[in-house]
Amino acid sequence: MRASVIVRSRNESARLRLTLASLACQSEPAEIVVVNDGSTDETDAVLHAASIETPLVRIDHEQALGRSLAANAGAQRASGDILIFLDGDTLAAPDFVERHLAAHSKRGGVVARGETLHLRQTRVFADPETGSPMPGEEARVAAMPERERARSRVTKADISRNFSSIELRAQPGIYPGAGPRRLYDLEMEALQAETDCGVLWAAASGSNQSVARLAFLEAGGFDPELSINEHREIALRLVKAGLRMALATGARSFHMIHRKGWRDPLVERDWEKRFYRLHPIPETPLLAVLWASLAETSALPAYARIRSLPDLFRAARRCDGVVGIEAVRRAHLAASERERAFLE
């Protein structure tokens, strides 16, 4: 069994250089497919230099096509039995590929999600290796004590000789606040239970996820009309086709954060309409209720909050037969209130 790692990247050349360095140090070799999705920075030079040291398949888009189409293009060119999706700002632990392959060897017919961790301290750096500041962060970086700056940087030497130093600096949860950490914890809890609670596809990951290449291609790849939650949507399609979600235990990735803001699926709701058209089931509109329930400050009444994936499945079953995104959420609130009244 052989793996292909699909790396999607756009205008993140300094981080891509480190991502490719981490893939060059794998305990189990894999085909590396890099999709340069319309980059206008130094990505071309980074790919040229990396290809001298490590063979890679390169796909260049003159204009950005988006995450879904970039990943699909990589999958079409890949030759491995297993596709592992990774972003161009994400490091792979030395046994990353080995652990994904082990998940598929242990149990065939799975969508395997790895353990996604994050390096928040890289947020202020344009280049995590040199410690050069992001535009607007010059004063903050200049004021950092040299020891703190050195501890925050990520170098190729760290990757090849001392990866444990990177692991020690990482933490779950992409952005500040309790919600992302709680979501990570409940997803891991559900996957580690190794019992299908009916909605394990909701624990899919946008990066650090693997699937058999033929199953991915037969499913039609990621939906090009989705740029948020495209990973959960295809996971749902694959589960409907007979695959199971599974944890790729120990397959750890490390996102080198570099965005000030982030795309909030509770604010940008266009994904929800498309997702529901494809999958008109109660779980779709209740995803947003789950995420809102985990926020540090939630407008939801306590009795209506959904706090785990099994809770999501149970809430959806109470809304069977209800049609429409808002109608499902209203039905959930009404059912939760009735349940509270009964218990009181």
Per-residue pLDDT tens digits for 287-327: 999 998 988 677 888 899 999 999 999 999 999 999 999 99
* Order of all β-strands in the sheet with 209-212: 57-61, 31-37, 3-9, 82-87, 209-212, 110-119, 244-256, 90-92
Q: How confident is the model at residue 220 (pLDDT cuts 50, 70, 90)?
A: very high
CB 247 within 8 A of CB 100: no
User: How many domains does the chain fold into?
Assistant: 2
Based on the domain organization, do 246 and 275 belong to the same domain?
no
Tens digits of residue pLDDT in 72-120: 999 999 999 999 999 999 999 999 999 999 999 988 899 999 999 999 8
Using CA atoms in the order 89, 95, 101, 102, what is the torsion angle rounded to 10 degrees? -140
Of 256, 282, 312, which marks where a domain is finished? 256
CATH number of 213's domain: 3.90.550.10
Looking at the structure, tell me whether residues 316 and 221 fall in a common domain: no
Q: What is the pLDDT of residues 111-154, one digit of tens each?
A: 999 999 999 899 999 999 999 999 999 999 999 998 998 899 99
Q: Are 329 and 279 in the same domain?
A: yes
130 occurs within a structural domain: no
| Distance from C-alpha of 173 to C-alpha of 254, rounded to nearest angstrom | 11
Query: 193 and 334: one domain?
Result: no
Q: Which domain holds residue 111?
A: 3-121+169-256
Residues 84 and 10 in one domain: yes
Pairing of β 31-37 and β 3-9: parallel
Point out the domain boundary residue: 256, 288, 312: 256
Q: Are 177 and 296 in contact (CB under 8 A)?
A: yes
pLDDT bracket for residue 12 (50, 70, 90)? very high
Q: What is the DSSP letter of 318?
A: T
Residue 162 covered by a domain: no
Residues 99 and 230 both lie in one domain: yes
pLDDT tens readout for residues 153-194: 999 999 999 999 999 999 886 554 556 788 899 999 999 997
99 and 240 part of one domain: yes
Averaged confidence pLDDT in the chain: 92
Asked whether residue 38 is assigned to any structural domain, the reply reads yes
Are residue 42 and residue 111 in the same domain, yes or no?
yes
The values of phi and psi at residue 59, to 5°, are -125, 125
Given 227, 256, 285, which residue is the final one in a domain?
Answer: 256
Block residue for tokens 């998940």 = 103
Please enumerate in sequence order all residues whose Cβ is within 8 A of that of 176, keeping only pairs 6 or more positions apart, or say none. 120
The answer on 27 and 96 residing in a single domain is yes
